[in-house]
Chain A
């Protein structure tokens, strides 16, 4: 056999082996099963009643402690926003330290170390809105991850594999809700995962458990008798940033048009 034939046969051989191996890869039954989430019995959803939220920040505190997000780092898996609309039509919003310590002053945080004092009598309306990952049905963060380190579980929760994330930040850029950030210690993408370690054991999420007013609730959207599902089905609820087509699964009671 001369060199030419040897090379030819080698290429043929490799191609011949690669083809059936690739086919085998395509029909991996476990992968097929994982992609078919129709038979999943659970679809986690979240309900926020903005009328009940008082902006105490206990949910943020509980979340940080439960999920080991460095307490003083200026990032958080969940946060609470305060909206103030004055009688002259001006709109203000802030979330100092992600509302970890609640809203202890009437001054609005304008960033760059500036604050705006608003007199109570000037306020037309004011309210609080808790935010967390929307566990979208069509998550853009999962779509853009170049290595598949972030993925959607069969029950709808979007998770991050800290051992595989390369830290490119594309998912952070891709999320229209700004829920993602780099974990200060692990240097990987980090986000709310509905306290997956708790809900998969039948517990409530840390924020739901910590809320003294019942403003936050978690439930199984596939169970029609679940109290959360009942409210979503029978009452008027809103979702955030519908225009992005992400199909968020966190529903809000009393959502105002001013909510960003």
Chain B
């Protein structure tokens, strides 16, 4: 069977070689890079623009962005027909292609996030490595810990006031450079689609900007969600500990800190959500108004076949409802959780409607293709390019995050930043 034939159903006149070649993993790819970029921008709002209210979530967002970074290229690799040749993109990049920039942009971005993390956690590494160094009889576990943290210090043990001040400056500069790079990382993911002149739905110069805006929205939403989840866990821990350790943070303290952070972050989420929706609607209105050759088939997709996906699931459930939920006064944690879940769903549907919707009509403009996501896998292809492959990609950053916070603790850190 030809690649794509399994999940494609053709209707009316479709060219013989046309199938839905870009399937759910290509939906996941911009979704995941969007989360990376969004999380980073959120952390930079504090570091660069000194928005103090975001201090608590900023460090958190940076670590999460790093965890997401490793998950971002996975969907592409799962999608490639020759995954082992994926490295060719780095070896022989063909620079007229939007994908060729991936290696460079991605590595540059990874380096920026890694160095920013290092400056942020340098003191923490030293604080752990130094006492272990002096300790005479280390257990095997302590040896391991010592080697890991000793390596992470990169041989720099200077934690004087002056050098920490320099670190802060470095973080500010890196976060400053990071914002355009993060936007570029995701904007170019939008460019990959926006520059395909053969595809009537994708080709618009607005595509990169729309992608960046919705990326920031989804990134902030995910950070808020993960932040709430970790805070709830901490509250449970605090409840248990409060009996034995009276000086530990109380449950109520955590509660009020949490809701403050969430209310503040929600404002930024709303701001970017408004930008994203405005641009998307502008694109839609413009297409309808100019009504070029492809508009007939696009209209039948947008207002017909994909109406539920676009107007019900994306705009109503994913944008309008969370918008109202956030705007209603006295935002509670429970309402915030529901709203951020819907926002993330909305952004996912936006990616879906772009990637799958863009292949829902034939290049002949006289036929349609319907996508049937493989759910129960029965071979390797339906596993990696099916529901479980996509789910695995989505879960991956959370698993990574769990291990990363063992090295980069996100709470209870005594430092100056």
**Interface of A toward B, CB cutoff 8 Å:** 73-76, 79, 91-95, 97-98, 110-112, 131, 140, 142-149, 164-170, 172-182, 184, 187-188, 243-245, 260
Specify which chain B residues have a CB less than 8 angstroms from the CB of A180 in the assembled complex: 17
**B:258-285 near A, CB below 8 Å:** none
Specify which chain A residues have a CB less than 8 angstroms from the CB of B158 in the assembled complex: none
Cα–Cα distance between A180 and B2 once the two chains are bound (Å)? 12
Min Cβ gap A130→B in Å is: 12
Q: Is the CB of B81 within 8 A of A181?
A: no
Is B22 positioned at the interface, with any CB of A under 8 Å from its CB?
yes
Q: Is the CB of B97 within 8 A of A112?
A: no
Quick one: which of A92, A148, A164 has the most chain B CB within 10 A? A148
Is B4 positioned at the interface, with any CB of A under 8 Å from its CB?
yes
Given that A95-B15, A168-B76 are contacting pairs, would A148 and B92 also be in contact in the complex, using a CB cutoff of 8 Å? yes
Cα–Cα distance between A177 and B92 once the two chains are bound (Å)? 27
Min Cβ gap B341→A in Å is: 31
Q: Is the CB of B100 within 8 A of A111?
A: no
Q: Is the CB of A144 within 8 A of B98?
A: yes
Instruction: Write the chain B residue with the least CB distance to A78.
Output: B16
Quick one: which of A93, A145, A181 has the most chain B CB within 10 A? A181
Q: Is the CB of A140 within 8 A of B197?
A: yes
Min Cβ gap A236→B in Å is: 23
Specify which chain A residues have a CB less than 8 angstroms from the CB of B364 in the assembled complex: 93, 178, 260
Q: Is the CB of B96 within 8 A of A144?
A: yes
Specify which chain B residues have a CB less than 8 angstroms from the CB of A76 in the assembled complex: 16-17
Q: Is the CB of B9 within 8 A of A75?
A: no
Is B303 positioned at the interface, with any CB of A under 8 Å from its CB?
no
Specify which chain B residues have a CB less than 8 angstroms from the CB of A131 in the assembled complex: 15
Min Cβ gap B362→A in Å is: 8
Specify which chain A residues have a CB less than 8 angstroms from the CB of B366 in the assembled complex: 91, 93, 260
Min Cβ gap A133→B in Å is: 11
Is B142 positioned at the interface, with any CB of A under 8 Å from its CB?
no
Q: Is the CB of A181 within 8 A of B17?
A: yes
Is B105 positioned at the interface, with any CB of A under 8 Å from its CB?
no
Q: Is the CB of B94 within 8 A of A147?
A: yes
| Other-chain residue from B3, B9, B13, B96 in contact with A94 (beta carbon distance below 8 A) | B13
Q: Is the CB of A168 within 8 A of B80?
A: yes
**Interface of B toward A, CB cutoff 8 Å:** 1-5, 9-19, 21-22, 76, 79-82, 85-86, 88-89, 91-94, 96-100, 102, 192, 195-199, 293, 362-367
Q: Is the CB of A143 within 8 A of B97?
A: yes
Cα–Cα distance between A110 and B52 once the two chains are bound (Å)? 61
| Other-chain residue from A146, A169, A182, A184 in contact with B100 (beta carbon distance below 8 A) | A146
Specify which chain B residues have a CB less than 8 angstroms from the CB of A94 in the assembled complex: 13
Cα–Cα distance between A243 and B79 once the two chains are bound (Å)? 31
Q: Is the CB of A166 within 8 A of B3?
A: no
| Other-chain residue from B9, B16, B79, B197 in contact with A168 (beta carbon distance below 8 A) | B79
Given A167-B85, A168-B99, A169-B79, 4 additional A-B pairs, CB 8 A: A110-B11, A112-B10, A142-B96, A169-B21
| Other-chain residue from A98, A146, A184 in contact with B89 (beta carbon distance below 8 A) | A146
Given that A93-B366, A175-B198 are contacting pairs, would A75 and B80 also be in contact in the complex, using a CB cutoff of 8 Å? no
Given that A187-B81, A260-B366 are contacting pairs, would A146 and B97 also be in contact in the complex, using a CB cutoff of 8 Å? yes
Cα–Cα distance between A245 and B19 once the two chains are bound (Å)? 24
Specify which chain B residues have a CB less than 8 angstroms from the CB of A173 in the assembled complex: 21-22, 196, 198-199
Cα–Cα distance between A74 and B293 once the two chains are bound (Å)? 29
Q: Is the CB of B97 within 8 A of A170?
A: yes
Cα–Cα distance between A260 and B12 once the two chains are bound (Å)? 13
Q: Is the CB of A146 within 8 A of B17?
A: no
- 3 closest A-B pairs by beta carbon, nearest first, are A167-B81, A178-B15, A146-B99
Specify which chain A residues have a CB less than 8 angstroms from the CB of B102 in the assembled complex: 146
Min Cβ gap A4→B in Å is: 12
Instruction: Write the chain A residue with the least CB distance to B102.
Output: A146
Specify which chain B residues have a CB less than 8 angstroms from the CB of A112 in the assembled complex: 9-11
Given that A93-B364, A95-B16 are contacting pairs, would A182 and B97 also be in contact in the complex, using a CB cutoff of 8 Å? no
Q: Is the CB of A111 within 8 A of B367?
A: yes
Specify which chain A residues have a CB less than 8 angstroms from the CB of B14 in the assembled complex: 111
Q: Is the CB of A143 within 8 A of B3?
A: no
Q: Is the CB of B99 within 8 A of A144?
A: yes
Cα–Cα distance between A74 and B4 once the two chains are bound (Å)? 11
Instruction: Write the chain A residue with the least CB distance to B192.
Output: A170
Specify which chain B residues have a CB less than 8 angstroms from the CB of A165 in the assembled complex: 81-82, 85
Cα–Cα distance between A178 and B361 once the two chains are bound (Å)? 12
Specify which chain A residues have a CB less than 8 angstroms from the CB of B19 in the assembled complex: 181
Cα–Cα distance between A97 and B17 once the two chains are bound (Å)? 10
